[in-house]
Chain A
């Protein structure tokens, strides 16, 4: 770990729903430009951890910092809302089910937030949308509605929508799990491209091959704790923990079946 302050710093994150503890004291530091994959069985808390970073699922204990700003600050409700709206502009998020706005065309999906929050003019917003959609290879569909797109295309638009806010970090919550197998690659390619541009990314995924080829670090989570973490070649080729070994074995068997 480098000596400088971590870009994202999660300190003793705890989360419970009633008596159910979903995150049990998790700490994680991510440096600028680093790409971290979080893997683990369903119910392990990996999505909850990711969603805690932009406060979609607020923590019940611990702190999350982005650079020198604490994300889950203790503020009165109104002030907190203003604070979190600002923080979220810096954190892009991509969902398993895309969550594109179906009543808006592709173009407007991308321009909505920059226009509302950054005061861009129509011309500026359009230029931005064209730039981002070109990047994800969706410029030809700029005047389509989401319902006219395939799953892979929807997800690429969703990535462009997040990138249009010029975020410092991108969070991917099983971005390819809902896709037909033949559509996974086009989304992975876009994510690889972001990796090459040194975007800081945290990726919750079931795609072990992708995680291995793209990520700097892999976290294996189970039952609300980080069981093991390290570089991908260690986690995937030579895991120390028995739980990691079991999970990977089962996962590989499942993929072959």
Chain B
């Protein structure tokens, strides 16, 4: 049995719809991981111990256990205690929080790297510590950390394939469905790989734009 790519057009709409879901999950989870990462970083650096420790334990759990397991827990596990989240939302939250923990490490480093004189200047004007963090320190920290955060976001895109296991019809799962009807795994997996790669290129282009923007104001 040779290769036959002519089966693809018939299933292209399913695959492309899957690509849209993948993009949706990635964008949603990227937002959660970005703002969640900043939030976790500020907690880790500035919150009193009673607040810091629960978050620290939370972070350890997310770093130390498989993402796949976390998705199962959020989607199948939480129902038992009465929290029923749709698969898409569970995927966005699971992926988002997982990467928020990674991003938090980056944000912590870059927040600490902002010159101490910046917070002093803000405080002498009368800003509170939180105001100074929000308006002066965090924006600079974010700016400095965009390239490595971008790498995390590309990892996030690839890991979004895991969300297929909780039944979100994203790219990987839609490929599997097409394969189920056609028995053409090679053709569809190659197609899907190409689509992931194209989304990846798109993300990199957006990142480069953002970086150039930032560079202009430095």
Among candidates B121, B135, B217, B218, residue contacting A116 with C-beta atoms closer than 8 Å: B135
> B151 at the A/B interface (Cβ < 8 Å)?
no
> B124 at the A/B interface (Cβ < 8 Å)?
yes
The answer to whether A117 and B217 touch across the interface, beta carbons within 8 angstroms, is: no
**What are the residues of chain B within 8 A of A116 when measuring CB–CB?**
127, 131, 135
The answer to whether A88 and B218 touch across the interface, beta carbons within 8 angstroms, is: no
Report the minimal beta-carbon distance from A180 to chain B, rounded to whole angstroms: 19
Query: Which of chain B's residues 73-117 have a Cβ closer than 8 Å to chain A?
Result: 115, 117
Surface stretch bound by B, among A13-21, A34-42, A61-69, A98-106: A98-106
The answer to whether B115 and A99 touch across the interface, beta carbons within 8 angstroms, is: yes
What's the Cα separation between A195 and B115 when bound, in Å? 31
Query: Which of chain A's residues 75-126 have a Cβ closer than 8 Å to chain B?
Result: 81, 85-86, 88-89, 91-93, 95, 97, 99-103, 112-113, 116-117
The answer to whether B140 and A102 touch across the interface, beta carbons within 8 angstroms, is: yes
> A217 at the A/B interface (Cβ < 8 Å)?
no
Among candidates B120, B129, B135, residue contacting A56 with C-beta atoms closer than 8 Å: B120
Query: Which of chain B's residues 114-167 have a Cβ closer than 8 Å to chain A?
Result: 115, 117-118, 120-129, 131, 135-136, 139-140, 143
The answer to whether B117 and A162 touch across the interface, beta carbons within 8 angstroms, is: no
> A165 at the A/B interface (Cβ < 8 Å)?
yes
Among candidates A102, A147, A165, residue contacting B125 with C-beta atoms closer than 8 Å: A165
Report the minimal beta-carbon distance from B50 to chain A, rounded to whole angstroms: 15
Nearest chain-B residue to A96 (Cβ)? B117
Give the number of residues in A that approach B within 8 Å (Cβ atoms).
27
Report the minimal beta-carbon distance from B120 to chain A, rounded to whole angstroms: 6
The answer to whether A103 and B217 touch across the interface, beta carbons within 8 angstroms, is: yes
**What are the residues of chain B within 8 A of A145 when measuring CB–CB?**
217-218
What's the Cα separation between A102 and B127 when bound, in Å? 17
The 10 closest A-B pairs by CB, nearest first: A89-B126, A99-B121, A113-B125, A99-B117, A93-B124, A88-B126, A103-B139, A85-B126, A117-B126, A103-B140
**What are the residues of chain B within 8 A of A97 when measuring CB–CB?**
117
Given contacts A103-B139, A116-B135, A145-B217, contact A161 B117 (CB under 8 A): no
The answer to whether B126 and A113 touch across the interface, beta carbons within 8 angstroms, is: yes
Known contacts A113-B126, A113-B127, A117-B127; can you find 8 more A-B pairs with CB under 8 A? A56-B124, A81-B128, A89-B126, A97-B117, A99-B115, A99-B120, A112-B136, A117-B126
